[in-house]
Chains A and B, each alone.
Chain A
Amino acid sequence: MSKWIEVVELNNIPVLGSRLIKTRDTDIAVFRGSDDQVYAIRDTCPHKGGPLSQGIMHGSTVTCPLHNWKIDLASGNALAPDHGCSNVFAVKVEGGKVFLQLP
């Protein structure tokens, strides 16, 4: 089981916004909902690779900034009528800090 890595303080993510986490393998967008629920998703839209971290978040969904696909942050799935999926990563908040689990 891979370990949890601390990435950022919750307060350093804007509410209904995101921070971009760069790892050696991939870019990950960490979002914070208005209820402080946190989501982590690969920063690549299943449509044409748009940077999801730059989109507008609403509820638990982000709208891609390039062509407005809507991606569910919990599952990574594009909402109908579109089709596709972006990886999501396990993420948790403890003591005001956000931890990511990388595969």
Chain B
Amino acid sequence: MQKENLVLIGNGMAGVRTLEELLKLAPDHYHITVFGEEPYGNYNRIMLSPVLASEKTIEQIMLNGEQWYIDNGITLHKGKKVEQINRARREVIATDGTVAHYDRLIIATGSVPFMLPLPGADKQGVIGFRDIKDVDTMLATASQYTNAVVIGGGLLGLEAANGLMKQGMNVTVVHLLDTLMERQLDKPAAAMLQKSLAERGMNFLMEHSTAEILGQERVTAVRFKNGTEIPADLVVMAVGIKPNTELGKSAGLYCERGIVVSDTMQTITDPKIYAIGECVQHRGIAYGLVAPLFEQAKVAANHLAKHGIARYVGTVTSTKLKVTGIELFSAGDFTGNDQTEDIVFKDAASGTYKKIVLQDNQVKGAVLYGDTVDGSWYFQLMKDGTDVSAFRDTLLFGQHHLGDSGHNPDTRVASLPDNAEICGCNGVCKGDIVKAITEKKLFTLDEVRAHTKASASCGSCTGLVESLLAHTVGGDYSATPKTKPLCKCTDYTHDDIRHGIIQHSLKTMPAVREHFEWKTPDGCPSCRNALNYYLLCAYPTEYVDDAQSRYINERAHGNIQKDGSYSVVPRMFGGMCTSDQLRAIADVADKYEVPTMKVTGGQRIDMFGIKKEQLPAMWKDLSAAGFVSGHAYGKAMRTVKTCVGSEWCRFGTQDSTGLGVKLEELTWGSWMPHKFKLAVSGCPRNCAEATIKDIGVVCVDSGYELHIGGNGGIKVRVTDLLCKVATEEEVLEYTGAFCQFYREDAHYLERTAPWIERVGLEKVKTAILSDAANRKALYERFLISQQPAQIDPWKARADGAEAAEFTPIMIEA
């Protein structure tokens, strides 16, 4: 059979999903050609908000890279905008002249942000929030300017505002009405949301209408109808979107708000042309969320594959906000009317609000704030039109009120029915996920994502999927070894390899690679660094470190900065220093013309902008002044932060500074699976922020509390209490033992926080608390590993080690 030509205009979420569905049904039916205006493969647009908030990278949100197009024989014209459809000749023509002939055509051009037609709206720095380009603009602006104004307090506006705030901008959200997200939230829920966003530092100008955007070339301020002005270096308009019908219109397709399509997603003007996604109007509705678009994609694919049995009849949508730490769910008609009744629960103190709108004992809509675990259940009841009279009085407490008053989401998800929808974006039900987990033997979230697509789009159902995984795989899910290989070079896991290294006395990288049948000769940047660390940890006194298997930071013993220069941090034990030491640092800074100095979050001094060639000389001067390397660049013990403690502070119960110095003397220089930080606070006021460190010590009258597994980074985690001890000696011993247990057990690049969540606190407690002999053995091994580690790498290099690394070769040509 002669293959037909299928052309897709718009390389976005709906269009490419249609191709994916089509390839599943009829892989050989068409020659496929794709035109996309953006210069990228196909990415997850929803995830632009987390990218803006630095929670994800662009690489992480790519759905189909270029290889996918190649693998499926699809011709991709990226960065090419189609400007004309010639329906008579069945051709599409791009602005650069590229022509493609079609037998069938899909238009999936999405939508464009609605830009308010204000005076000054064309100035530099006024943008929408739609694509990677916009995110790049926002990130670049955030690095140079301070004030951002987001016009529109809806879903998109708040996500933009949150992201910009995370990038350090001072953000004001301007909203026409007195409630945020009025299309998803009622007043009480909106007020709670506004309060918690305000607590994070977001500013609001409610009931403000924008009149004009001021500035010369670039925006400088925004003026409102009431005459007031606020300064602005960036204005993001997030007041709505409009279907991108330009191309459809010019091709003579019938359009209203969007390109009008039938239940088979064919345009009503020309059945050879399909339209799908946000550019479409179906039964009067233009959708702006992915779940309905993905349903449309299924239908269109079914029709294109000539099965012709599917019909799209519209979708009920639900919404969640992707701002980390804010739980919010809304669906259906949550305002209600004369015929409806509301059931409402509000606990301002705990930040929980639930409202369910009922009519004739059926759920018509719901708003949940603070606790959204039951959102999918209410949504299901709503879609099914279930009669809830039998359990109406406990409806608000969720599905699991009976018999289980606990708040453990694991048990809640367990009792959901199989047809309960878990992932709203991709329409995946609990049954599908459980089936995939059991049949395909899945163990990790990534695997579930790959096989079912659940939680692969906006990610707000990730928690539910993880609970399902835990529940389905069984009680020891957390202890189940991940079947994920260490990297692409091997089929073996981190744990396999760590055990193998000891069991078979593998003492060099080639030996490990040979034993485990590596697929690449040299390994890759993931496994080389991991193996180097594993060998170093297993054979601290024997193994010869491989410099080429370390990231540049560790190879150059400094932190590489964005311009290729380095920063240098001398160690200041416990954050203590003398005037002589400060003077010495100042002298070094003068001598090497250090452009920037900064006190770090760990109470050390960081010197920026050092050229690599200068490093050894600078280190020489620093070591002459008595400093050793601060390891601020390494997967290593970094700093011990301290408060002043009993020596000066009127609240101090113990000498927290002195103890901090002792801990740092014990642990400095030690290589770890990842960076590692300690802190000691002199009393429970906790001025050293010990409860977000890998190890935190909080001094109390009767001794010392040891806290472990905290993290102040991207995902904040408060420590777990390990135990309380009475003496400083015990603090040192327990700390050393904990360090060693972590060093020997964790995967490379796994910080203590996710490690403890993976292996469970019990395992750590057992190793260190229940078994004193084991603790002492761990501590002993830690001390042994410290002997070769506490050699200052700076001094060695200042004395000439690895000179080639630091000496460029000059050529007169």
Of residues 583 to 613 in B, which have CB atoms within 8 Å of A's CB atoms? 612
Residue of A nearest to B546 (CB): A16
Indicate which residue in A13, A34, A49 contacts B522 across the interface (CB closer than 8 Å): A34
Contacts of B524 in A (CB 8 A): 58, 63
Contacts of B523 in A (CB 8 A): 58
**A54 touching B552 in the complex, CB below 8 Å, given contacts A21-B809, A34-B521, A59-B522:** yes
Residue of B nearest to A16 (CB): B548
Closest CB of chain A to B709's CB: distance in Å? Answer: 27
Contacts of B556 in A (CB 8 A): 54
Closest CB of chain A to B781's CB: distance in Å? Answer: 29
Closest CB of chain A to B53's CB: distance in Å? Answer: 18
Indicate which residue in B520, B525, B560 contacts A56 across the interface (CB closer than 8 Å): B525
Interface residues in B, total, Cβ within 8 A: 36
Indicate which residue in B59, B528, B555, B812 contacts A81 across the interface (CB closer than 8 Å): B59
CA of A49 to CA of B521, assembled, Å: 28
The answer to whether A58 touches B522 (Cβ under 8 A) is yes
Indicate which residue in B67, B529, B548, B564 contacts A15 across the interface (CB closer than 8 Å): B548
Among A17, A20, A24, the most chain B Cβ lie within 10 Å of the Cβ of: A20
Of residues 622 to 671 in B, which have CB atoms within 8 Å of A's CB atoms? none
The answer to whether A65 touches B528 (Cβ under 8 A) is no
The answer to whether A56 touches B813 (Cβ under 8 A) is no
Q: Is residue A38 within 8 Å, beta carbon to beta carbon, of the partner chain?
A: no
Q: Is residue B406 within 8 Å, beta carbon to beta carbon, of the partner chain?
A: no
CA of A15 to CA of B547, assembled, Å: 10
Of residues 491 to 545 in B, which have CB atoms within 8 Å of A's CB atoms? 520-525, 528-529
The answer to whether A5 touches B813 (Cβ under 8 A) is yes
Contact with B along A7-29 (1 / 0, CB 8 A): 11000111111011111100100
The answer to whether B564 touches A51 (Cβ under 8 A) is yes
CA of A17 to CA of B804, assembled, Å: 11
Q: Is residue B549 within 8 Å, beta carbon to beta carbon, of the partner chain?
A: yes
Contacts of B522 in A (CB 8 A): 16, 33-34, 57-59
**A56 touching B549 in the complex, CB below 8 Å, given contacts A12-B804, A34-B521, A80-B65:** yes
Q: Is residue A102 within 8 Å, beta carbon to beta carbon, of the partner chain?
A: yes
* Interface of chain A, main secondary structure: loop
Indicate which residue in A5, A66, A81, A102 contacts B41 across the interface (CB closer than 8 Å): A81
Q: Is residue B808 within 8 Å, beta carbon to beta carbon, of the partner chain?
A: yes
The answer to whether A17 touches B548 (Cβ under 8 A) is yes
Contacts of A68 in B (CB 8 A): 59, 525
The answer to whether A8 touches B809 (Cβ under 8 A) is yes
Contact with A along B551-569 (1 / 0, CB 8 A): 1110110001010100000
Contacts of B564 in A (CB 8 A): 49-51, 54
Contacts of A100 in B (CB 8 A): 811
CA of A80 to CA of B67, assembled, Å: 7
**A21 touching B521 in the complex, CB below 8 Å, given contacts A54-B556, A66-B562, A81-B41:** no
CA of A59 to CA of B529, assembled, Å: 15
The answer to whether A5 touches B525 (Cβ under 8 A) is no
Of residues 25 to 63 in B, which have CB atoms within 8 Å of A's CB atoms? 39-41, 59, 62
**A59 touching B521 in the complex, CB below 8 Å, given contacts A15-B548, A19-B809:** yes
Query: B residues bordering A, Cβ < 8 Å?
Result: 39-41, 59, 62, 65-67, 520-525, 528-529, 547-549, 551-553, 555-556, 560, 562, 564, 612, 804-805, 808-813
* 19 A-B pairs in the complex with CB atoms less than 8 angstroms apart: A13-B804, A14-B805, A16-B522, A27-B808, A33-B522, A34-B522, A51-B560, A56-B548, A58-B523, A59-B520, A59-B521, A59-B522, A68-B525, A81-B40, A81-B59, A81-B65, A81-B66, A81-B67, A100-B811
Beyond known contacts A16-B548, A58-B522, A80-B66: 20 more, CB 8 A cutoff: A5-B813, A14-B804, A14-B805, A16-B522, A19-B804, A22-B809, A22-B810, A24-B813, A54-B555, A54-B560, A54-B564, A54-B612, A56-B528, A56-B529, A59-B520, A59-B522, A63-B524, A81-B66, A81-B67, A102-B813
